Amino acid sequence: MSTEKRNDYITWDEYFMAVAKIAGMRSKDPNSQVGSCIVSADNKILSIGYNGFPRGCSDDTFPWAREGEPLESKYFYVVHSEMNAILNYTGESLEGARLYVSLFPCNECTKAIIQSGISTIIYDSDKYHDEPMTIASRRMLDAAGVRYYRYKNTGRQINIEV
């Protein structure tokens, strides 16, 4: 048995991104499972969220479709993971917090992120990078001085056994 501490433990970014991705696994959306984790400056988890319907709106009743008539698709109804994490927070302030999210935030979530005082976003996927809503997000984040960067996956496999 070793008397030295382990040196192969995961980084804070790996830990919190894994938490965000696990949160996303709670989503019942058949196409997009996005998760978020809000963390304090001293590395305490403040809130978690995933994409889904608002409280009281049955995921068996409301639509999950991506296409079709607006009222028959999910987009008017789904609350994004970032918004859920912000709304789930019960503390006093998110000023200076970091947001770990599995997908770069849309323009609507970006407004809430800025208004809540979150100072840094660490995102994994940026698959909508060239879409107008994402361009608008970056413009607002830059103007508001909110730092954002892509999660640097070390390639280390994080195995979770239950």
The residues carrying an active-site annotation are: 82
DSSP 48-90: EEESBPPTTS-TTTS---SSSSGGGSGGGTPBPHHHHHHHH--
Q: How many CB atoms lie within 10 A of CB 102?
A: 24
Report d(CA 24, CA 37) in Å as an integer.
Answer: 10
Read off the amino acid at residue 11. T
Report d(CA 66, CA 1) in Å as an integer.
Answer: 54
Exposed, middle or buried by CB within 10 Å (0-12, 13-18, 19+), for 24?
buried
E strand intervals along the chain = 35-39, 45-50, 98-103, 120-125, 147-150
